[in-house]
Chains A and B, each alone.
Chain A
């Protein structure tokens, strides 16, 4: 069964190029392509930099339009905690 996570959400962006553009100075002594980032991305709904969480725990989950090349074979189980502190 496919477990929907932030990575299937229109509000979540984990594209390293996008993250580097959004966080000024990140590329000076770091990289969004590095292992340190893990699977983290930016959630526009809550304006947070975070690891993906399960969609069922997020009130703002908005399914992303599926892309042609999109595959759903992820191995990792994300934290199923709510994304925001509000």
Chain B
């Protein structure tokens, strides 16, 4: 029953495995990026689901964007040649009509959905070029051709700048998508197998959950839905909730419903996208939010629960206090062990935190958007108050990438406290609650044992990006190292893979959240009152400190 702990934590703890997953992906992406930049292979990209309007099949095709640099002094005829030779899936020619000339850019491919779109950012010159669609496609993704206004001649100098030709349905992403699912499945199943989980069951279940993730992206990328701001995170959650609250999450799917594993792996990859200096700049106000508020809320809830409400079960009070102020279930587990709680006490605290986590994950971003709060402040507020890391990232994703990054960093700073809170609660329990003078004090090592190791991966990934990869790429390929890494490693591979990990996590949250089961675990009376009052205090205090830290003392951190 205990053999799993006799192996190294590096092999049995999920946190460490998420570090291995993230770093392995970063390493593979770096190798591919370097090979592509040196011209040994064509650039490889992890597929992202495409936009669509009326035909969802369009989502399974990638568009090809070609940017044409237009120099000063370029004529209309010269631009036509530049577009045609750019192999952008379009040809251009100057058409003479009514004594004038105009540029006609048409798709060079035929068939359903083979449309293009043209966007110009040209300034100066004798004439400013403007394009109109010719025969727009019914799907709204582009047109068969674009035509410019009529100019006096083909030799008119047009403005300098950039012209972008986007060729719709340039290539299918079905094969790269299959490669991606197989890659992620094989990578993660190694960890699942070594940790001793059901690896056989995981394989099939992973594919099924990945399909739900694809479906979430497809729905979110419909142009009208996208315009309403309903992100993939919302759809992933909704689809998962739909399954778990109607037919119920089937047992065979459960081996791959691993919210924590996916979210932590995604967070390690997020580290690679944030410059180390940026983490430090978010970190200072983040520390204020996470480390000032957290102990205050724990102490407030402990005093309120034991002295005002007079709840008999002291472990229950401290578990709910830690879950509310630190990070939900993870803190509940750590503090339950420190206070030697009964199984029922832990179960009750977990149930209590779950239902409010789901509610806050859905309603906090809605409220923040409704009151038009600054996304950075909103992200910090959610990071400091929503109980679990997965829910924080999901809520942040509803509000956009800035809120997501700030929310995640603040939550991770708060997560660092798990070990310390566990240690101090154990110490407090022996000295002040059970008052056993003979009992030896818990070892300081406990702080490291319970430290969420994925944060090490997050920081390591950021450090690698900022101080290793960027200088390396700059010296090898002669250019701006940060931009080279960003385009060939991050945008091509790690960013889309992070998106897939997060989406898998959000689907898993939905699949795990059965409202009927949660309601059964929810107990009213003093316990509920403790949570509601404590969380309300947490919400007010965190908003106040987050406003002070992110809006007054350290504005513009991101």
Q: For A35, what are the chain B residues with a Cβ–Cβ distance below 8 Å?
A: 9, 13-16, 418, 449-453
A11 vs chain B, min Cβ distance (A)? 10
Whole-angstrom CA separation of A70 from B346 in the bound complex? 30
Q: For B12, what are the chain A residues with a Cβ–Cβ distance below 8 Å?
A: 33
Complex contact B509–A73 (CB within 8 A):
no
Whole-angstrom CA separation of A32 from B261 in the bound complex? 11
B85-93, B283-291, B440-448 - interface stretch: B440-448
B176-184, B304-312, B330-338, B461-469 - interface stretch: B330-338
Q: Given contacts A14-B1, A34-B330, A38-B334, are A74 and B340 in contact (CB under 8 A)? A: no
Q: For B260, what are the chain A residues with a Cβ–Cβ distance below 8 Å?
A: 27, 29-31, 33-34
Complex contact B343–A48 (CB within 8 A):
yes
A56 vs chain B, min Cβ distance (A)? 13
Q: Given contacts A28-B329, A29-B357, A64-B1, are A34 and B13 in contact (CB under 8 A)? A: yes
Complex contact B453–A12 (CB within 8 A):
no
Complex contact B426–A79 (CB within 8 A):
yes
Complex contact B259–A70 (CB within 8 A):
no
B521 interfacial contact with A, CB 8 Å: yes
Chain A binding surface SS class: loop
Q: Which residue of B lies closest to A31 (CB)?
A: B260
Q: For B196, what are the chain A residues with a Cβ–Cβ distance below 8 Å?
A: 16-17
B279 vs chain A, min Cβ distance (A)? 20
Q: Given contacts A15-B4, A31-B258, A35-B449, are A49 and B390 in contact (CB under 8 A)? A: no
Complex contact A18–B13 (CB within 8 A):
no
B48 vs chain A, min Cβ distance (A)? 27
Q: For A29, what are the chain B residues with a Cβ–Cβ distance below 8 Å?
A: 259-260, 328-329, 353-354, 357, 387-391, 509, 512
Q: For B259, what are the chain A residues with a Cβ–Cβ distance below 8 Å?
A: 27-29, 31
B517 interfacial contact with A, CB 8 Å: yes
Complex contact A31–B449 (CB within 8 A):
no
Interface size on A, residues (CB 8 A): 52
Complex contact B336–A38 (CB within 8 A):
no
Whole-angstrom CA separation of A73 from B336 in the bound complex? 26
A64 vs chain B, min Cβ distance (A)? 7
B3 interfacial contact with A, CB 8 Å: yes
B350 interfacial contact with A, CB 8 Å: yes
B372 interfacial contact with A, CB 8 Å: no
Within 8 A of A (CB), among B13-35: 13-16
Complex contact B328–A14 (CB within 8 A):
no
Complex contact A37–B513 (CB within 8 A):
no
B110 interfacial contact with A, CB 8 Å: no
Q: Given contacts A17-B196, A49-B340, are A81 and B1 in contact (CB under 8 A)? A: no
Q: Which residue of A lies closest to B17 (CB)?
A: A33
B556 interfacial contact with A, CB 8 Å: no
Whole-angstrom CA separation of A82 from B542 in the bound complex? 38
Complex contact A49–B343 (CB within 8 A):
yes
Q: Given contacts A15-B1, A30-B350, A36-B331, are A81 and B512 in contact (CB under 8 A)? A: no
Q: For A83, what are the chain B residues with a Cβ–Cβ distance below 8 Å?
A: 340
B134 vs chain A, min Cβ distance (A)? 53
Q: Which residue of A lies closest to B197 (CB)?
A: A17
Q: Which residue of B lies closest to A5 (CB)?
A: B2
Whole-angstrom CA separation of A50 from B442 in the bound complex? 13
Complex contact A80–B440 (CB within 8 A):
yes
Whole-angstrom CA separation of A57 from B257 in the bound complex? 39
Within 8 A of B (CB), among A1-28: 7-8, 12-18, 22-28
A63 interfacial contact with B, CB 8 Å: no
Whole-angstrom CA separation of A36 from B466 in the bound complex? 29
Q: Which residue of B lies closest to A76 (CB)?
A: B445
Whole-angstrom CA separation of A28 from B332 in the bound complex? 13
A47 vs chain B, min Cβ distance (A)? 6
Within 8 A of A (CB), among B317-376: 328-334, 336-338, 340-344, 346-347, 350-351, 353-354, 357
> What would 30 A/B residue contacts be, using CB atoms closer than 8 Å?
A7-B5, A22-B343, A24-B347, A25-B350, A27-B258, A27-B512, A28-B259, A28-B357, A29-B357, A29-B391, A30-B332, A31-B260, A32-B333, A33-B197, A36-B330, A36-B450, A37-B450, A38-B449, A40-B336, A48-B341, A48-B342, A50-B341, A51-B446, A64-B2, A79-B443, A80-B439, A80-B440, A81-B436, A81-B440, A83-B340
Please list the 6 inter-chain residue pairs (A to B) with the smallest Cβ-Cβ separation, ordered nearest first: A30-B329, A29-B388, A40-B337, A33-B14, A36-B330, A7-B2
| Inter-chain pairs besides A30-B350, A34-B452, A37-B450, 4 sampled, C-beta below 8 Å | A15-B4, A28-B259, A29-B389, A70-B3
